[in-house]
Amino acid sequence: MKPQAILCTCHGLPEPAFERACTAGAHNVKTCFQHLGCLPQCGDCAPKVRKVLGDHIARQSNGAAGAAPLPTKPS
């Protein structure tokens, strides 16, 4: 099993914790931490948390866009 990457060293929070916060409705760094029951401290993890948020949003967008394309009319 692959070790979990710690994104927030101040709180020892791994990447999956932030992914779960995104799934639960977090939409920025502050709300991610609120979902996890703490507040950001030093801020070093903020860029990594933003990346997790961005990846989550991209997966959601791709899921919506992943539907079969509409057929085109023959020319």
pLDDT digits (tens, 9 = 90+) for 16-33: 999 999 999 999 999 999
- The boundaries of the domain holding residue 33 are 6-60
pLDDT of residue 3: 72
How many CA atoms does the CB half-sphere of 47 hold within 13 Å?
1
pTM of the model: 0.76
Q: Is residue 72 part of a domain?
A: no
pLDDT of residue 10: 96
What's the number of domains the chain is made of? 1
Q: Is residue 22 part of a domain?
A: yes
Q: Is residue 73 part of a domain?
A: no
pLDDT of residue 62: 80
At position 11, the amino acid (one-letter code) is H
CATH number of the domain encompassing residue 40: 1.10.10
Q: Is residue 29 part of a domain?
A: yes
Q: Which residues contact 23 (CB under 8 A, 6 or more apart)?
A: 56
pLDDT single digits (tens) 33-64 = 999 999 999 999 999 999 999 999 998 888 65
Helix axes 15-23, 46-65, angle to 10 degrees: 50
